[in-house]
Amino acid sequence: MDVLTEFWTEKYLKEYIKEGGSKIKFVTGRPGSGKTYLLGELADCARKLNYKVVTFSAQQIWLHDFKEIYLEILRQCDLIEALGRCAGKVAEHMGYVSDAIPEGMNFMDYLSSQDLGDAITRRELRLQLKEMFLDNPLFDNNFALACSLLTGGILGHPVLESQNQELLLAWLHGDKTVKLSLLRSLGLSPSRITRYNARHMLRSLVEVLHLGGYSGVVVLVDDMEVLLGHSGNSELRYTKMRREDTYESIRQLIDEIDSLRNIMFVFGFDRELFDDDRAGIKSYQALWMRIQNEIISPRFNCFTDVADLDRLAGQFSTPESLVAMSGEMLAQLERQRAARFGGGPGSDAAERGAAAGPAAITRGQAEEILKNAALGGIGIPGQVAQATLGGEQHV
């Protein structure tokens, strides 16, 4: 998994996505193949590279309606914080250092305190907002106007009353109780966010984050095998219609991905979602036709859009790498114990918690795991975890 994480970080996060590209990846494998671990490692790398990272499980968020995906991304991205960054950019474009503005004072108040809040300055401020949002072709018109008004409210001009701020935020977050007639009074078209315009809203949101200084957005969705209806842990139950709507939504996202910028999606699922001919991805030909050619190569290709972690593990795993993986699991367990019992890794408290604990696997055990890898069951990382941690994975 480290091979794939490093490759995606170098080729996509540091280059392609940051420079305005967009991508969808699928991660599959047997249970225990390391899908959730990979998503977690990729999330850590993305955060270090100044990306907004959105993570959620298909067991908690509906996937059949793209509006629900958009709203979850919006919820985790903190729009007001991003617009505050955009307000700082506006101040800088006008020749001021945003950090110089005293705490508790907005930009317009600061200008007025310096006898600079004249009509020409106010006009320039409105022009800067228009250029940033309203003249930007990547924005949905309503989204652009809402962001312009909210950013103007942060700057102090044009003044935005608190009830209007709450109205705009409620509309952006898909609140069905918002009266559309009130939007018209602010200049917005009276329309709601739906599955049909949610992708345009997402493109607008990502552009706000990018304007605010973020490298982009990485969206990580795990547990998509819940679509098959076999999981008893899920809060959601997919009917045949909802499952097919989900496949269609992903198909549309694939077809329209080039219209988005600075965003990467990664969907993780057990390979039964491929293997189940009745309810899996193969049952929806429109989606299957777009990704089927991605999984026929006999050797693992890091550029592939469907990453089979079983094949990756079989190609790159050695006894030495499995022993090292086991050691990393023990180190993680020690950190968890340190947090649970107090003190840092290696402290007396952590050592007391580790009494009679697990040990790293031997080279012989690693060789046995590699021999058993082709027999099915759980993936190589899962077998290493079982051999290393035994019944203590939950600690």
Q: Phi-psi category of 32—alpha, beta or left, where left has phi over 0 and alpha has psi -120 to 50?
A: left
Indicate the pTM of the whole model. 0.83
Instruction: Give pLDDT, residue 308.
Output: 83
Q: Does residue 234 share a domain with residue 93?
A: no
What is the rounded distance in angstroms from the CA atom of residue 129 to the CA atom of residue 126?
5
Domain endpoint, select from 258, 287, 316: 316
Note whether 210 and 238 are same-domain residues: yes
The reply to whether 49 falls in a domain is: yes
Q: Which of 185, 215, 234 is the last residue of a domain?
A: 185
Distance of CA 231 to the CA centre of its chain: 23
Can you give the pLDDT at residue 75?
A: 97
Of 269, 292, 316, at which residue does a domain stop?
316
What pLDDT is recorded for position 350?
A: 46
Tell me, yes or no, whether 73 lies in a domain: no
Residues 214 and 308 in one domain: yes
Do residue 60 and residue 204 come from a single domain?
A: yes
Q: CA-CA distance, 375 to 136, in Å (whole number)?
A: 55
Return the pLDDT at 391.
Answer: 44
Residue 85's pLDDT is 95
In a domain, 97, yes or no: yes
Q: Are residues 8 and 46 in the same domain?
A: yes
Q: Are residues 125 and 88 in the same domain?
A: yes
Can you give the pLDDT at residue 361? 73
Domain carrying residue 378? 319-389
pLDDT at 230: 72
Is residue 18 in a domain?
A: yes
Answer whether residue 394 is part of any domain. no
Same domain, 202 and 265: yes
pLDDT in the model for residue 182: 94
- Per the structure, the count of domains in the chain is 3
Q: How far from 133 is each of 147, 260, 371, CA to CA, in Å?
A: 7, 16, 58
Residue-wise pLDDT for 341-372, tens only, equals: 565 545 554 454 444 456 777 877 766 766 66
Please check whether residue 192 lies inside any domain of the structure: no
Check residue 359 and give its pLDDT.
Answer: 72
* Per-residue pLDDT in tens (0 to 9) along the chain, 395 residues: 578 999 999 999 999 999 999 999 999 988 877 898 899 999 999 999 999 999 999 999 999 999 999 999 999 999 999 999 999 999 999 988 877 888 888 999 999 988 888 999 999 999 999 999 999 999 999 999 999 999 999 999 999 999 999 999 999 999 999 999 999 999 999 999 999 999 999 999 999 999 999 999 999 999 999 999 876 666 788 999 999 999 999 999 999 999 999 999 999 999 899 889 999 999 999 999 988 765 555 566 778 888 888 777 666 566 666 677 667 767 766 766 666 656 554 555 445 444 445 677 787 776 676 666 655 666 666 766 777 776 444 33
pLDDT at residue number 213: 96
Residue 118 burial by Cβ neighbours in a 10 Å radius (0-12, 13-18, 19+)? exposed
